[in-house]
Structure formats: C-alpha cells, structure tokens
A and B are shown apart, each in its own frame.
Chain A
Amino acid sequence: MQDEIEVDVAEMEVANAPTRLISLGIGSCIVITLYDPALRIGALAHTMLPDSTKCSQSNNPFKYADLAVVEMIKRLEGMGCRKQDLEANLIGRANMFPHIPTLGVKETGEEDCMAVKKKLREEGIELTGEAIGGNSGRSVEFDTSTGTVTIKKIKI
C-alpha cells in the first residue's frame, strides 16, 4: 500500500486508509473528494472544468467535475460504500489572473461550481466542506484514515 498517491489533472484515484491522496498546485481546476467514514475509503478527482454540458465532449469523464462525481460514486459503491454515507469536499476553481477580463459569462468560483454541487445534491451526498474561488493556488492532502482534507496556500 502506498503512503501517498498524487492525482494529476483529469485523473481520479481511490484509496483505503491510511493512504493520502494529494493534488499539488491547483489553480482553476476543481478537486472533489468523496469519503466513506465507516469503511475509511476515499476518492479524489482532479477535474478541469465544472460543467460537461457547456463543453465539447471528451472521452475522459475526469475532465469534468459533474461527470467525475458519477464515476467516483460508481467506483466507491463497487468497493462496498453506500452513496448516502459519502461526504464530499470541493476545492479549487481559483482565478490566477483576475485582472484579465473574460468575455461573456462572468466566472466566479462559486457560481461556476453550481453544476457539481447540484449533482452532489441529486445523488444525496452531503457537501461537508468547500474552499473554492479566490486568486491563490492551493495544494490538497486528503487523508483516508480520517477523511480530513488539508489545504495549503502560499501566503504572499
């Protein structure tokens, strides 16, 4: 069993306690964690975009937060987890260059994550924490022993 697994962009990993799932230097990506506290199994997806319905299709569901949630639930249920027991966290969707105007839709981290939050609600999964938006990069460490999600930022 590995101590630590790094999850890169458009990837997803599932792990048992005591493995830590990590993603480093998250900017505008959205990291989703799902945790079963009874079985102590966790999944972390490092997705690029919040809403698959607004983009051209890709073969990789882990590019999109709303699709990633569905796949993560499938994997965890396959390992014996119950969907209604799962706890979720959302991290990321920072805008590293806030002064560059984006034409069209206003992009704020909070508004953007509506699709994935809606998906979690539809699946009956509780969102226990979120750290989204802002202009700073973050690193995430998800400890499957406890379900704790630790977020690191570089303070300038």
Chain B
Amino acid sequence: MRKTLTKSEVDALKKVGFIGADRAAKALSQIVGETIGVDVPSAGIIPLPELPGRVGGKEELVVGIYLPIRGDVKGSTLILFPQKSALMLADLFMKKEMGTAKNLDKRNKSALEEIGNILSGYCLAALSDFLGMELLEYVPDLTYDMGGAVMEHILVKFGHEVEQVFMLKIEFNIRKIRLPVYFFLLFSIEEAGIISKAIKARAGG
C-alpha cells in the first residue's frame, strides 16, 4: 500500500479543498454580510513528527476543532485556527469590529464552533463528492490552548499507526486581511489506503 500521494493526487485534493473552502466562505459571507475571499496557498503530506512546529510556535495559542468522521471510512479532521485568525473570525461572526476580541470567551467559542462546522461541512462534502464515498461528521470538540499541545494530541493518537497526515492551508481574505486556517485529514494506514485508491481513480494517477 503506498504511503504517499503523487503530485497530481495532492493537486486534486488541493482543488477539492478549494471547492469546499470556497463554498464555506460564501456561506460565511452571507451570514456576516461581508465579502470573504478564499485561497488555498498550500497542500501536502506532512510527516507526523514535523507537526508540532508546523503551524507556528508550540506555545502559541490556537483554536483546534477535532471532528471524528464515520461512513465509508473512519478517521478524523482537525481544523486549526491560529489565535489571530480565531479572534478575528469570531469578531466577524459576532458582527463586531475585527480586532475587538482579545481572548476567547464563551460566545466567541460558540462562534468559532459554528465557523468550524461550516468549514468542515463544506470541505467534507466536497471530499465526499470527489471520492464518491460517504463521509459523515460526528460531534466535534473544540480546544483553545497551546498549538504544540494540540498537535501532540494528533501525534499521540495516530503516532503508532500513521506516518504522515494531509494538510491544507486555507486563507480567508477579508478586507485585505489574510487569515490562515489549517485543515488536516487524519486516517490510519488502512483507511488512508482506501482513500488513496479512490483519489487515484479520480485524479487519474
């Protein structure tokens, strides 16, 4: 079973990620009443040991939303908002001036959960369509803590059965401010093999 994806397979996933993120951005735009642009500047396979330092400093605050997936394959996604992205998106959602929130309180957390739901919903739907597989979301959990600690959770949970994860970097563009959000696909080797086959079939190898 191949453990890595080819360039064309990564490109295919990048496009799928863009479709999902774009639809999510449109939905969010409608909710907040502002134009939200989206870009997917990078996508690729990350070796698991590199995860903790990958999305900023290990002690930097992030919001992590962990979402189990069931259906034709079993796995999970992790959406990671660096602190600035989390606070500004929460402000936007709450119809406040971006830069207002300095910390994540209960209401901002709820807003981020909503945003996370929308993003994961559209991205998983796009992936589902592309793969021709049923991917169902289960109840997510949100944490607001050190980025290193959130990434460690992935490492420890998957460390003995997975060597790498798929990472998508999404950038929301609101009034010329770029807010990065990271989307990770996490599957055990067996499940990854099933997905890999489906990607190959659709990406044309």
Q: Does B175 contact A (CB under 8 A)?
A: no
Q: Does A37 contact B (CB under 8 A)?
A: no
Are B148 and A25 in contact, CB atoms less than 8 angstroms apart?
yes
Is chain A's binding surface mostly helix, strand, loop or mixed? Answer: loop
Q: Which of B60-82 contact A (CB under 8 A)?
A: 61, 64, 66, 68
**What CA separation (Å) do A154 and B141 show in the bound complex?**
19
A contact residues, total (Cβ < 8 Å): 30
Q: Number of A-B pairs whose CB atoms are under 8 Å? A: 99
Closest to A47 in B: B156
Q: What 1/0 mask marks residues of chain B from 149 to 191 whose CB sits below 8 Å from any chain A CB?
A: 1111101110111000000000000000000000000000000
What is the minimal beta-carbon distance from A115 to any residue of chain B, in angstroms?
A: 15
From B52, B145, B152, contact of A136 by CB (8 A) = B145
Q: Which residues of A contact B145 (CB under 8 A)?
A: 27, 96, 136-137, 154, 156
Are B156 and A28 in contact, CB atoms less than 8 angstroms apart?
yes
Contacts beyond the supplied A9-B155, A25-B147: 20 A-B pairs with Cβ under 8 Å = A8-B52, A24-B57, A25-B52, A25-B59, A25-B150, A27-B146, A28-B152, A29-B155, A29-B156, A48-B159, A56-B160, A96-B66, A96-B145, A98-B141, A137-B149, A137-B152, A152-B59, A154-B145, A156-B103, A156-B145
25 contacts between A and B (CB under 8 A): A24-B148, A25-B147, A25-B148, A25-B149, A25-B150, A25-B152, A26-B152, A27-B150, A27-B151, A27-B153, A28-B153, A28-B156, A48-B155, A49-B160, A95-B153, A96-B153, A97-B141, A100-B66, A137-B149, A137-B150, A137-B152, A138-B146, A154-B59, A154-B145, A156-B144
